[in-house]
Amino acid sequence: MIFLTIDWHLPIKDNVLAFSIVLFIILLSPIILKRFKIPSIIGLMLAGMCIGGHGLNLITREGSISLFATIGLMYIMFLAGLEVDLLSFKEKKSRSISFGLLTFSIPFIIGFFVVYYFLNALLPPEHQLKWSGAILLSSMFSTNTLVAYPIIVRLGITKSEPVTITIGGTIITDTLVLLVFAVLSNLVTGTLDAVFILRLILSLTLFTIAVFVGIPILSRWFFRNIEDERGSQYIFVLAVVFLSGFLAEIAGVEPIIGAFMAGLALNRLIPQASPLMSRIEFVGQSLFIPFFLLSVGMVVDWRVFIEEKNVILFSLGLIIIALLTKWLAAWLTQVIFGYSPLERKLIFGLSSAHAAATIAIILAGFNLKILPSEALDATLPVIMISCLVSSIVTEASGRKYAVLSLEKHTPATEVKERIMVPIANPDHIHNLIDLALFIKDPETDSPIYPLSVIMDEGKIHEKIQQTYKMLEKSVSHVAETKQRIQPITKVDMNVADGIFRAIQENRINTVLMGWSSSGGASELLFGTVFDAVLNKVHQMIIVSKVLFPLQTFRSVHVAVPGYAELEIGFQKWIELLYRMHRQTEIGITFYGQQNTLRYLNHYIQTRKWKMVPNFHEMKNCSEFLEVSARLTGDLYVVISSRNFGVSYNEDYQYLPNSLIKQNAYLGTIVIYPQQNDIAQEESSLFQIDNMTLPQIQNFTKIRSWRQWIDRLMDKFKKI
C-alpha cells in the first residue's frame, strides 16, 4: 500500500505533505492570532518557531522552504522598490541619505564600543571576540529588514514621507553593511588589495548601469510588443527581479540589493492601479512573503537560553543595543527634519527589524570563524524580538498615521468623478480601460462605466448578447485591480442620443472615447457620432489614440491654446494630467502662449504638486508638429475646445489630424474641457485683472458667446 511506503518519521520528508502543512499554517495562523490582536507577521514567525527544527521538528528549513524564503525576502525588497514614491524620494533624497547614514553609523559605532569593551567579557576567554568579530557583530545592528512593510501596504501609507525616507535609508544602510562585510571577509582571508577594491567599484558601476539603463529599455520594449496573455508580463517581471539579484551577486553585493534596484528600475513602468501591480502584490503577500516569515521563526532556538546563562545576558545586551540605537537614529532624524513623534515612531518601527541581512552576515561570520557559536546563538533572539517590536510599533503608529492622513485630506472637488467609456470595438477595450484607470481620481470610489449603445434596428436580443460578451472583457480586465466597473448597455434609435442619455442618467462628468484607425476628425470611433456628442454634452470629453501602455512613453507634450486658463474645465484637465504624471512619473512639457503658461506654472505651484513640468512658449501649432516629428516615442496631448469656448482656436481643431497623418503610430490624446451649459448664462461682466478663478470661469460664460458672435461677424464681413 502507498500509505505504508511513506516515511512518517520527523521531519516530514514528503514534499507534498510538507507544502500542504505550510499552506494551512499560512492560512490559519493569522486568522487565529487575530482574535488575540497579534499581527499576522508575528503569528507566522511564531508558527515557524513551533514547526521548525528547534520546535516540533515537523519540517526542515533546508530545501524548498529555504528556496521560497529566499524568494520571499527578494520579493519584499522588490515590492519596497516598486512602491517607492520616486517623486517624493527625489524631493526628499537628502533626508533619505541622511537617515541612511544615521541608521548605519549610530548603531555601528555604539555597537562596536559596547560589544568589544563590555559584552565581550560575558563570553568564555577562548571565544571572546577579536576586533574583526566585534566589527562584524556591530554591523548587524545597522542592518534592517522591511519585515513590517506588508503592514504599511495594508494601511495604504506606502507613499508617505516617513515610509519613503525609511525605505531609502534601508537600502543605503544595508548596502554599507554588506560592503563592510565584503571588505572585512577579504581582509581576514588575506585577499584584500587594490585589485579587489578596483574590481568591486567597477563591478558595482557596471551592475548599476545594467539595472537602471538596460532593464527599463528591455521592459519598455516587452510591454509595448508582448500582449499580457496568461500572465506573461508577470513572469517577465519575476525573471527580471531574479536576474537583477544574480547580477548583484556577481557584482559582490547581496541579491536583495539587486531585487530592490529592480523595483526602482521598474517603478514607473508598473503603475499602481494596473492589473499587473495587483497580480504582483497578490502573489507576494499570499505566498512568497509568508514563507520568508515562517523561515525566520524556524531559525530561532530558545533552548540555548535555558542551558547557557551567559548567552542570555549577552543576547539581552545585543537586543538592547539593537533597539536603542535604531531608536536614537529615528529620534535624531525627527529632531533634524522636524518630524512629529508619531512619524518618528513609524520610522523606528519600520527600520528596527533585523532578519535577512543579519542572518546572512552572522552565518557567514561563523563559517569564516570570525564569530563563535555563542554569538550565533545570541543573535537569533535579536532577530525574533526586533521583528516583534517592529511589527507592533509599525502596526500601532501606522494605524494612527493613516487615520490622521485621512482627516487632513480634503478632496479637490465636491463632485465625485464618474468616467464613462463608450465602446464599439472590442479591440479597443483594454487600452481605454487602462487609460481610465490612469486618469481616475484614486480618492473616489465611483466605478468606471463602459458603455455600449445598440441601435434599435431589429434583432435586439442577439445584439444584446454580443454586447454582453464584449463588455465582459472590460470586467475581467479590471477584476484583478481594486477598482470597480459597472457596464452599461443602452438601446436607442441614435447612438449619440444613447450616449447622451447614459451620461445624464449616471451623472457622468468625464467621457473617454477611442479614435478610429483612419484618424479623421469626423471618423472617430462612432463616425460622425462624435460631432453630435461633442455638441450635445458639456462634460469633459477625452479622445484617445494610444496604441501602447501609457507608462512606456518617455515624456508627455501638451499643446495648450491661449486663454485655456479661463475655461470652466481648466482645473479638471490639469488635475487629470497630474494624476497621469503621478501614475507614470513621466516628464511633462507644456506648449502655449506666455500668459497661459505663466498661469499654469502659478497654479501648479499653489497646489504644491510633486511635479516639475517644463514650459515652452509656442507661437503657432507648426512648432508642436516639429516637436512630434523629432520625438516620435513620446505622448502628445492637445487641449482643444468646443467652437463656442473662450479658448477656441481653429488651428487646434486640426492639430490632432496633422499629428496622426504625420505618424499613424504616434500616441495622441485630445481633451475637450468641460464647458458651461448655455442655460447658465450670466448677465453681468467683470474686469478680468481683478478676478478670482471662479469669477473668471463665470465670466467666460458670457465672453465665449461674445467671442463666437465676433467670429461670425468677421466671416460675414469677409463674404
CA distances (Å), origin 291, targets 76, 253, 286, 302, 707: 11, 23, 9, 21, 67
pTM of the model: 0.68
Strands 667-672 and 555-559, how do they pair? unpaired
In the chain, what's the furthest Cα-to-Cα distance?
108
Same domain, 24 and 100: yes
Give the pLDDT confidence score for residue 687 in this predicted structure: 37
The β-bridge partners of 590 are: 558, 615
Q: Any idea which of 56-65, 100-109, 439-448, 674-683 has the lowest mean pLDDT?
A: 674-683
The residue type at 635: L
> Cβ of 36: how many Cβ atoms within 10 Å?
7
The per-residue pLDDT for 241 is 92
Regarding whether 167 and 64 lie in a shared domain, the answer is yes
CATH number at residue 485: 3.40.50.620
**Is residue 442 predicted with pLDDT exceeding 50?**
yes
468: cell is 454582453
- How far apart (Å, rounded) are the C-alpha atoms in residues 657 and 645? 20
Say how many residues make up the chain: 719
| 476 and 528 housed in the same domain | yes
| Total domains present in the chain | 3
Nearest Cα to Cα of residue 637 among 435, 499, 418 = 435
Quickly state the pLDDT bin for 681 (edges 50, 70, 90). Answer: very low
Q: Are residues 475 and 583 in the same domain?
A: no
578 and 504 co-located in one domain: no
Is the same domain home to 366 and 513?
no
| Average pLDDT value for residue range 315-343 | 93
Look at residue 327 in the predicted model and tell me its pLDDT. Answer: 95
Nearest to 556 by CA among 540, 573, 541: 573
- For the cut 60, the answer to whether the pLDDT of residue 382 exceeds it is yes
The average pLDDT across 125-140 equals 86
Using 50, 70 and 90 to split pLDDT, how confident is the model at 475?
low
698 within domain boundaries:
no
491-505: average pLDDT: 81
The DSSP code for 306 is H
Q: Please say whether the beta carbons of 391 and 41 come within 8 A.
A: yes
> Does 398 fall in a domain?
yes
Q: Name the residue type at position 201.
A: I
3-state secondary structure of 563: coil
Based on the domain organization, do 563 and 540 belong to the same domain?
no
Determine the pLDDT at residue 461.
61
Confidence at residue 703, expressed as pLDDT on a 0 to 100 scale: 47
More confident residue, 247 or 188: 247
More confident residue, 363 or 137: 137
H or E element that contains 449: strand 448-455
| Mean local confidence (pLDDT), 165-183 | 82
Residue 279 and residue 177 share a domain: yes
Is it the case that residue 517 has pLDDT exceeding 60? no
Q: Average of pLDDT values for 673-690?
A: 48
Query: What is the chain's mean pLDDT, rounded?
Result: 78
Confidence of residue 94 (pLDDT cuts 50, 70, 90): confident
H or E element at residue 490: strand 488-492
Residue 553 pLDDT greater than 60, yes or no:
yes
Dihedral sign from CA coordinates of 80, 84, 90, 91: negative
pLDDT at 699 exceeding the cut of 60: no
Going from the C-alpha of 656 to that of each of 256, 432, 456, 600, 653, the distances in angstroms are 46, 18, 33, 22, 7
702 part of a folded domain: no
Co-location of 363 and 428 in the same domain: no
Residue 52 lies in a domain: yes
Cα–Cα distance measured from residue 559 to residue 577, given in angstroms and rounded to the nearest whole number: 12
Residues 500, 463: contact at Cβ < 8 Å? Answer: no
Decide which of 544, 574, 602 is a domain's last residue.
544
Residue 136 lies in a domain: yes
Of 353, 346, 314, which Cα lies nearest the Cα of 330?
346
* Domain final position from 364, 382, 406: 406
Task: Tell me, yes or no, whether 572 and 635 share the same domain.
Answer: yes
Query: Distance from first CA to last CA of the chain, Å, rounded?
Result: 101
**Do the beta carbons of residue 144 and residue 73 sit within 8 Å?**
no
Same domain, 395 and 442: no
Look at residues 356, 371, 406 and tell me which one is the last residue of a structural domain.
406
pLDDT tens readout for residues 390-417: 988 998 999 889 888 766 654 444 457 7
Question: Is 662 part of a structural domain of the chain?
Answer: yes
Check: CB of residue 635 under 8 Å from CB of residue 669. yes
Contacts of 218 (CB under 8 A, 6+ apart): 240
**Distance, CA of 157 to CA of 148 (rounded, Å):** 12
Residue among 224, 121, 142, 85 nearest 581 (CA): 85
Tell me which of 270 and 102 has the higher pLDDT: 102
Question: What number is the average pLDDT over the span 211-236?
Answer: 83
pLDDT for residue 252: 75
Neighbours of 158 (CB within 10 A): 19
Query: Which of 55-59, 129-133, 161-165, 305-309 shows the lowest mean pLDDT across its residues?
Result: 305-309
Q: Where is average pLDDT lowest: 455-464, 583-592, 649-658, 660-669?
A: 455-464
Among the listed ranges 194-208, 365-379, 467-481, 543-557, which one has the minimum average pLDDT value? 467-481
> Cβ-count burial of 709 within 10 angstroms (0-12 exposed, 13-18 middle, 19+ buried)?
exposed
Rounded mean pLDDT, 570-589: 86
Question: Does the pLDDT value for residue 179 go beyond 60?
Answer: yes
Instruction: Give the lowest-confidence range in 434-443, 605-614, 627-636.
Output: 434-443
Q: How far apart are CA 140 and CA 110, in angstroms?
A: 12
Please give the average per-residue pLDDT across 328-337, as a whole number.
94
Q: How confident is the model at residue 462 (pLDDT cuts 50, 70, 90)?
A: low
> What was the pLDDT predicted at 549?
81
Lowest mean pLDDT among 26-30, 468-472, 693-697: 693-697
Residue 690 has pLDDT above 50, yes or no: no
Among the ranges given (209-223, 312-326, 422-436, 560-574), the one the predictor scored with the smallest mean pLDDT: 422-436
Q: Give the number of other CB atoms < 10 A from CB of residue 318.
A: 25
Share of the chain above pLDDT 70, in %: 80
Domain assignment of residue 712, yes or no:
no
| pLDDT average, residue stretch 657-670 | 80
| Residue range of the domain that includes 379 | 2-406
Least confident of 24-28, 499-503, 515-519, 557-561: 515-519
Distance CA 452, CA 456 (A): 13
Residue 470 and residue 330 share a domain: no
Quick check: is 63 in a domain? Answer: yes
pLDDT 10s digits, 339-368: 999 999 999 999 998 876 677 677 667 777
